[in-house]
Copies of this chain bind each other. A is one copy, B any other.
Amino acid sequence: MKRIQHYIDGRMTGLDSTRTAAVFNPSTGTQSAEVSLASKADTESAIQAAAKAFPGWAATSPLKRSRVLFKYKALLEEHTDEIARLIASEHGKVLSDARGELTRGIEVVEFACGMPHLQKGEHSLNVGTGVDSFSMMQPLGVCAGITPFNFPAMVPLWMFPIAIAAGNTFVLKPSEKDPSATLRIVELFTEAGLPDGVLNLINGDKEAVDTLLTDPRVQAVSFVGSTPIAEYVYATGSQHGKRVQALGGAKNHMVIMPDADLDQAADALMGAAYGSAGERCMAISVAVPVGDETASLLREKLLSRLDGLRVGQSIVEGPDHDMGPLVTGQHLDKVRAYIAAGVEEGAELVRDGRELDDQSGGYFIGGTLFDQVKPGMRIYDEEIFGPVLAIARAASFDEAVAMVNAHEFGNGTAIFTRDGDSARQYCEQIQVGMVGVNVPIPVPMAFHSFGGWKRSIFGALHVHGPDGVRFYTRMKTVTARWPSGLRERTNHYSMPTL
């Protein structure tokens, strides 16, 4: 059985771990590897490696650091296929989707290549006469990242390229469900010229997480995962004096106005609700058509598209399926239970993905559609993280806005309309961090910042983009004045010579 290890101080390690977890191929349901789970001591040795590497890396000029990033980008591109296959085989998303994920991650590396410019401070001449002031944005020290299974490449790449380009060192704890792609990405950074110890990876569970959250050498923690854990990470890390950004759950609504291009909206919904089997924190899980006519038309269009939704193995010869399996059997059970709960609570099950006929042993479920979903139902209130789309009808624009704003989450949302006014009002009023106008999955580009509102985020600064740079740097402000004397004396002693 393949054993997936840790990567500490430039070397694979962890074969001697007593605790391990199984890694599966979700397309077949068979175990493909086992992964070492880091003990407190393992985690501390990763932190120690990062702490030891910090002074040297911080003292390397931003320009030189960025050159390693340039090479890293090239290496990631060269290995795109290999990494995409690792993602697909452990996460279950289809290959094209895995490639797309990696591309979005590489874009953050590209952004981080600009660190010599991005890390500039401000300079003020003469804040008072003869007194100047300037700020320096210095690295923090050891930073940690704790990342979820659903984007084993992209989410880690949101974090460590920026942290490292800014002069920090890093300990990454990816999901233990699909660790191979993450591990490969981390290894490649060393190949690009990163000194040993600057980037370390430990596979693990709560023991590793708690060590990262409490060890005094860790200065900052970035987390992406579910809201309860995000809250725990934020509170625990904060209590231990760390800078924390913790991104949690989502229930993303797409509002469809009567004037929208409904074919475009339906196409967008198919990708946004069922792509990656709905296992995306930016997936659309609630469609909010405004007006019953809009709802009926939209439902019709979705149903006909659902007929053609191709579900199957994540890696195939020929064109990719539209959607692969869920990540684990356990998660499959949870999603099926949600569907059952929806029926029980009175929602109309328009298409039942449980009826999918699959003999592969993989964790498959078909695209599922509910209508007449309402706040208060669990399938509305909670994040399912599966290919289950709920139609929650609104009678008017204002009702749609009110519904979205009443939800506890505020990660992403979209409005489909042709009307400039509807879009603009939606953007201003909606209590959500990322908004799409006719864009179903409005993930900000790497040079902007990613982050939700309300209980979808804990912490002030968003991830990557300018906020990411601010998160991974510490501001030091210098105020300087110089005693005169030497200069005047050169003026004075020279007087007689004139």
Residues of A within 8 A of B (CB): 59, 61-63, 66-67, 70, 73-74, 107, 110-111, 113-114, 116-138, 220, 231, 234-235, 238-239, 241, 243-244, 257-261, 264, 290-292, 395-399, 417-425, 427-428, 432-439, 442-451, 453, 455, 458-462, 466-467, 470-471, 474-488, 490-495, 497-498
Contact = CB atoms under 8 A, between A and B. Distances in A.
A419 to B, nearest CB: 4
Given A70-B73, A121-B122, A476 B127 contact: no
Nearest to A488: B397
Contacts of A444: 133, 135, 477, 479
Given A418-B420, A438-B481, 15 more contacts: A62-B124, A66-B110, A114-B118, A238-B239, A259-B486, A397-B488, A397-B491, A398-B491, A418-B419, A421-B486, A425-B487, A436-B479, A437-B482, A453-B476, A461-B461
State how many copies of this chain the complex holds: 4
B243 A459 contact: yes
Question: Which residue among A73, A396, A417, A420 has the maximum number of chain B CB atoms within 10 Å of its CB?
Answer: A420
A132 B435 contact: no
A449 B423 contact: no
A445 B133 CA distance: 8
Contacts of A128: 61, 63
Contacts of A421: 418, 482-487
Contacts of A114: 111, 113-114, 117-118, 447
Contacts of A123: 120-123, 134-136
Contacts of A241: 231, 234, 455, 458
A457 to B, nearest CB: 9
A291 B130 CA distance: 25
B397 A442 contact: no
